[in-house]
Amino acid sequence: MGELVTRGESVYMDNCATCHQPNGLGQSSKYPALAGSDITTGTIESHIDRVLNGKADTEMQAWAPQLSDLDIAAVITYERNSWGNEMGQVIQPMTVYESR
Ligand code: HEC
């Protein structure tokens, strides 16, 4: 868990923080908070799906083409265990691979 969270934090800062902010609180109504949000505290399947495939017609792009299975597993593990989110789950790269 520690290693994935550390890697996930750096993936997050490089790719996600411009919109969702380093503190996970997002910006106004344009970019949603990830602290306590439906998907980051919901099912792992929905979280992987949103990061891999994005959401059509929004600025949330699909990350599947850019990020490796390991980086996606790491950033999701980071999001589920940061900013007060305490899901306590480690996401395996194999699970991301199987969701592609
Ligand atoms: C260009 C801005 C932008 C960037 C960069 C971005 N997002 Fe998003 N993200 C959004 C927007 C906008 C939404 C809301 C989409 C909707 O549901 O309308 C969103 C939604 C989400 C959600 C769902 C939140 C919820 O509970 O509804 C997750 C999880 C998420 N983003 C993760 C990430 C991750 C991980 C990264 C980096 C790899 C990232 N985002 C990068 C704009 C961005």
pLDDT of residue 70: 98
- Mutate which of 60, 76, 85 to test ligand 1's pocket (most atoms within 8 Å of Cβ)? 60
Number of Cα atoms under 13 Å in the Cβ half of residue 27: 8
Q: What distance in angstroms lies between residue 31's CA and the mean position of ligand 1's atoms?
A: 7
**What are the per-10-residue average pLDDT scores of the chain (100 residues)?**
97 98 96 98 98 98 98 98 98 98
Q: Model confidence over 61-85: pLDDT tens digits?
A: 999 999 999 999 999 999 999 999 9
Q: Identify the pLDDT of residue 42.
A: 98
- CA 72 – ligand 1 centroid, Å: 13
32 lines ligand 1 (CB under 6 A): yes
